[in-house]
Structure 1
Amino acid sequence: MSSIETQMRDASAKIFRTTEAKETCHNASQGSAASGGCAFDGAKIVLQPITDVAHLVHAPLACEGNSWDNRGAASSGPVLWRTSFTTDLTELDIVTGDSERKLLKAIREIKEGYAPAAIFVYGTCVTELIGDDIDAVCRQAAQKFAIPVVPVKSPGSGGSKNLGNRLAGEALLEHVIGTVEADDPGPYDINILGEFNLSGEFWLMKPLLDRLGIRVRACIPGDARYAQVASAHRSRAAMMVCSTALINLARKMEERWNIPFFEGSFYGISSTSEALRRIAQLLVRKGAGSALLHHVEALLAEEEERAWKKLEAYRHRLEGKRVQLNTGGVKSWSIVHALIEIGMEIVGTSIRKSTTRDKERIKQMLKDENHLHQSMAASELYAMLREHKPDIMLSGGRTQFVALEAKIPWLDVNQERQHAYAGYAGMVELARQIDLAIHNPVWAQLREPAPWKQFVTTARSAEPRINMRSADEATAGFY
C-alpha cells in the first residue's frame, strides 16, 4: 500500500471513530428546512422498495402519478412494488363521505387480485384534511382480510421530503418491525438501514458479507421483503447508510432491542473497508467469535489490492482534475471521500438535505467551508461553473442541463443513474465513468466555434476594406 493510500485509510478511520452510535447525528435536518418534495413523497421513497408489498395511495390520482417509480431501486424478485395502486378519490367521494368505504374496497381488491405480503396505505393532504380515520380502516381490513395493513400517515402539507422519510421509519417501527419472529436467528445477523439498492449497489456488497459469514437479515428498504423487515429486531448490529432517511429508526431500534449501530459509507475503498471493520467489531461485541476480525482483514487486503490495481489505469488520468459535486444527503460527504482517494480536487459540494454530522465530515475532508454551498438556483450554479471551471460536474438529472450549457462534462450520481458505485468494484466503475466523461472528444469539439461561425469570420476577413475617406474625396466633386 502506498503512502497516499495509507493516509486515506487513516483519515477514514478517524472520521468514522469520531461518530459512536449514540453520538450519530441527533439533529437531522428539520422537515420544513429542505426543499425537494413533500412528506408523502419522502415516505413513499423510503417504503416503496419493499418489493412484495402493495403500496396503496389513498388520495386523488395526481398524488400517485407524481410519486410512482421515482427511485432507481432494483429488485431481485417480486415486482409488485412497481404496480401503481390508488383509491383515486374524486370530488363526489369527498362530498358524500364515501372515501373510507372506497379505501376498504380497494384493500379487498388488492388482497384478492395480487395476494401481497402486506398492504401499505398512504394518507395524503386530502384525506388528512377531510378527517379520514386511516388507522381504523387499516385495523378493520387487517382483521377482515387476514393480511397486514399498515397505515402511513404522511400528508404532504406536514413538511418536506426529509420529514416524510422519518414518518416512514416511524410507521415501520410501530406497525411492522417486531411482528414476525425469526426462525433461525444467528450471531452474525445485521441490518443495513437507509440503503436503497440504487442500480443494484447493495448487490455489490452482499457477496463480500456472505464471504465473511455475515447475513443481512434486513436491508431497509433496498430489495427488502416484508418478512425480513418484520423480523429485523432479531439482528445483532446495524449499519446506517443514509442518516437523513432513517436515523430515528436506528436510534429507537437500539433503545428497544439493543441493536447497536454506526453510520458508514460504501463509497470509496477506504470507506468500504472501514464500514466492514465496524460491522465486524459490533458483532464481536455482541458475542460473535473474534476470528471474524481476522477474516475481515484478510478479505480487505485482498479486495483493496485488486481494486487499487484496477484503479491505476485511471488515477494518472484523473489526478488533479477538478470536480463540482451538486447532490446532497449522505452523498455530499461519501462521494467526496471517494473522489479524494483517486486524487481529484473538489471545487465545491452541495450540502442540501445534509445533516449536521454530514457537514462536519465534509469540513474535515475539505478543510475549507467555502467549498460548501446550499441548494442554489440554476443561474447561480451556472455562474459558479463558469467561474471555477471544473473538469466535470457530478449531480442528478435535474441540473444536467446547467452543466451542458456551461460546456462541462456531467455524470449522474443520483437515484436515476445507470451504474452502481458502491464497494470496491463500484469505486472502479465510478473512476471509469468519470474518465469516460472527461476525456470524451465531444467536449473539445463543443468548445470550438461552430463551423458556420468560422466560415462567417473567414469570409469577413477576406472582404476588401474600403478607405471611406478616400471614397469621399473621390466623389466630392461629383456632387
Structure 2
Amino acid sequence: MEPIRKDEIDAQECGSVTPKSKPCPRPKPGEAAGGCSFDGAQITLLPIMDAAHLVHGPIACAGNSWESRGTLTSGPSLSQYGFATDLNDTDIIFGGEKKLRDSINYIAERFAPPAIFVYATCVTALIGEDMDAVCKEAAERLAIPVIPVNSPGFVGSKNLGNRLAGEALLQYVIGTGEPEREIPLGVNLIGEYNIAGEMWDIEKLMNSAGITLMSRITGDARYKEITWAHRAKVNMVVCSRALLGLAKEMESRYNIPYFEGSFYGAKETTYSLRQMAFLMNDREMERRVDRLTEREESRLIQDLRPYRKLLKGKKAVLYTGGVKSWSIISALKELGVQVVGVGTNKSTEDDVRRIADRVGDDTEYIPEGGASRIIKTVRERKADIMIAGGRNMYVAMKEQIPFIDINQERHKAYAGYEGLLRLAKELTYSLANPIWKLAASPAPWDKEDPYDH
C-alpha cells in the first residue's frame, strides 16, 4: 500500500482533506440557533452510558433535551435517566447549591455510578452558583468523580457546547486511569455518537482488520474507557467541527497523531481504515486493511447494482450540517444521485470547501432561510427527493416529495459499507413508494365521471 501523507491527501479520490484544519469558529454570545451550548454539551457527554448526568437548573432544561438523539447503548442505561435539581423560584432567589449537594448525594447513594456529570444552565450561571466548588467537595467526600460542565445555553451555539464538553473531558477525565492490559494498536473515535447503532458497524469493521477500538468518545461509551484514552496510538476525528480541539490538545499533551475522516460512503470508509493503519506504522496491519477493504468494496458493488440502476440520475436536496454536509454527498455520488442543493448553515469554511470538491458548479448552497428556502430550491432544481433532519419531514410532506431523515433523530444506520447499502435501499423505497403518485393525482370526487357524457 502506498504511504498516505497527512499533508498530501487527494480529497476528491480519498474522501478527506488535510487534518490540520481549523476547529469550529467561536460564535457570538447568545447565538444559539439550532441548539444552545447546554444542549451541545449534553449531546457530547450523554452517550457515556454508565455515568449519571445531572442538570442543575429548572426542570424544563432537562425535559426539553431529554432523549432528543438516537444514541443507542449495548449495556448500561443510567445516562438515560433525566436527573435534574428542578430549581424553583425560591431556589433561584436564595441559591440552589444545597439542592445540588443533596441531588449529588442521592444519585451517589441510590445508583453508585462511576462518575456524575453536572451541567450548568442559563439560570444557575446568571445567579452565580459556585458549581465547581460543590462538585469538588462532593467528589472528595464521596470518592467518585463529580465533574462540572460549565456550558450554560446563553454562551453560544450547540457546537460551542460540544467543544466545552470536550474541554471538560480533557480537564477531569482523560489521563486519570490506565487500561487493565496493554492495548498495542488502539484507536480513539472522537465525535462518533452511535446514532442508530452506527458505532457497532464501525467497530465490527475495525475488529475485522485487527484494529482495537480503545475509547469511544463518546458513542456507547463507558466512563472508565475514556479515562485511558491517552494511551491510544491514533485519534480519528469523526465530527470535525465539534471536537477537533480535543484531538489537537491530545496530540500536544500525549503525542497522539490524529486525522479527520468519515464512514459515510465506501470511499470514505476505506480511506479512514487505511489511514488508521498508516498512522500506526504497522505493515501487517496495512495488509489486513487492504484485503478487508478490497473484499468489502467488491461485495458492495454487487449488492448495490440493482439500486444504482434505479437511483442513477436522481436529484436530491441535502439539508444538514457539519461532517454530514460533505460526507453524505460522497455516499450519494457513489449511488449515482446528484446533489442539486445543499445546506451550509452549520458548516465551517472547511466543510464548505469539501462540499465544493464534491458537487457541480450548478449546485445551490442554502446558508439560511429554513423551510421556505428549501422548498424554493426543491421546486427550482426539480429535485426528486429531500434528505434532511426530521423537523423538515413536514416540509417534504407538504411539497409531496420523497424524504429521508439523516439527522440525529433517525433510526437507520448509514455508516460503513453496510450503511451505504442501507442508504441505497431507503432511497429506493422512498422514491418508489406509490403514495407520491397517489398524492399528486386528483381526489376521487374531483375526477370526471364518464357517465356524465
Q: How does 1:329-368 map to 2 (within 5 A)?
A: 329-368=322-361
**Alignment gaps of 5+ in structure 2:** 1-8
- 1:242 alignment counterpart: 239
- 1:86 alignment counterpart: 84
Point out the structure with the larger helix share: 1
Q: Shift in Å at residue 379 of structure 1?
A: 2.0
Q: How does 1:325-474 map to 2 (within 5 A)?
A: 325-368=318-361, 370-455=363-448, 458=449, 462=452
Contact 1:12–1:274 (CA under 8 A) maintained in structure 2: no
What TM-score, normalized by structure 1, do the two folds share? Answer: 0.90
- Answering whether residue 228 of structure 2 is matched by residue 231 of structure 1, we say yes
The residue identity in structure 1 corresponding to 2:142 is: F
Contact 1:152–1:167 (CA under 8 A) maintained in structure 2: yes
- 2:137 alignment counterpart: 140
Q: Quick one: which of 239, 263, 288 aligns to 1:295?
A: 288
- 1:4 alignment counterpart: none
The residue identity in structure 1 corresponding to 2:199 is: F
Q: Shift in Å at residue 386 of structure 1?
A: 2.0
Contact 1:120–1:149 (CA under 8 A) maintained in structure 2: yes
CA–CA separation in structure 2 for the residues paired with 1:380 and 1:423: 31
- Please give the root-mean-square deviation of Cα atoms over the aligned residues, in Å: 1.7
Relative to structure 1, the CA distance from residue 296 to residue 305 in structure 2 (aligned partners, 3 Å threshold; closer, same or farther) is same
Between stretches 110-119 and 87-96, larger displacement belongs to 87-96
- Answering whether residue 37 of structure 2 is matched by residue 39 of structure 1, we say yes
CA–CA separation in structure 2 for the residues paired with 1:383 and 1:47: 37
Q: How does 1:261-276 map to 2 (within 5 A)?
A: 261-276=258-273
Deviations 1:82-122 (A, max 9, x none): 0010000111112223x111111100100011111100000
Q: Shift in Å at residue 354 of structure 1?
A: 1.2
Q: Quick one: which of 251, 254, 258 aligns to 1:254?
A: 251
CA–CA separation in structure 1 for the residues paired with 2:176 and 2:11: 41
SS at match of 2:125: helix
CA–CA separation in structure 1 for the residues paired with 2:426 and 2:192: 22
Q: Shift in Å at residue 371 of structure 1?
A: 2.3
SS at match of 2:71: coil
Relative to structure 1, the CA distance from residue 398 to residue 278 in structure 2 (aligned partners, 3 Å threshold; closer, same or farther) is same
Q: Shift in Å at residue 351 of structure 1?
A: 1.2
Q: Shift in Å at residue 429 of structure 1?
A: 0.4
SS at match of 1:147: coil
Contact 1:24–1:262 (CA under 8 A) maintained in structure 2: no
SS at match of 2:75: coil
Contact 2:366–2:374 (CA under 8 A) maintained in structure 1: no
- 1:281 alignment counterpart: 278
CA–CA separation in structure 2 for the residues paired with 1:450 and 1:415: 36
The residue identity in structure 2 corresponding to 1:357 is: D
Q: Shift in Å at residue 245 of structure 1?
A: 1.7
Deviations 1:247-289 (A, max 9, x none): 11111111111111111010001110011000101111xxxx3
Q: How does 1:190-205 map to 2 (within 5 A)?
A: 190-205=187-202
SS at match of 2:269: helix
- 2:54 alignment counterpart: 56
Number of aligned residue pairs? 444
What TM-score, normalized by structure 2, do the two folds share? Answer: 0.95
Contact 1:240–1:262 (CA under 8 A) maintained in structure 2: yes
SS at match of 1:298: helix
The residue identity in structure 1 corresponding to 2:144 is: I
Identity %: 48
SS at match of 1:172: helix
Q: Quick one: which of 159, 171, 194 aligns to 2:168?
A: 171
SS at match of 2:299: helix
Q: Could you say which structure has the larger radius of gyration? A: 1
Deviations 1:50-109 (A, max 9, x none): 000100000011100111111100100001010010000111112223x11111110010
Deviations 1:292-337 (A, max 9, x none): 1111100111111111110012001100001111111111000000
SS at match of 2:447: helix
Q: Shift in Å at residue 374 of structure 1?
A: 1.1
Relative to structure 1, the CA distance from residue 31 to residue 337 in structure 2 (aligned partners, 3 Å threshold; closer, same or farther) is farther
Deviations 1:424-479 (A, max 9, x none): 00000000000000011111111111112214xx59x958xxxxxxxxxxxxxxxx
CA–CA separation in structure 2 for the residues paired with 1:14 and 1:29: 29
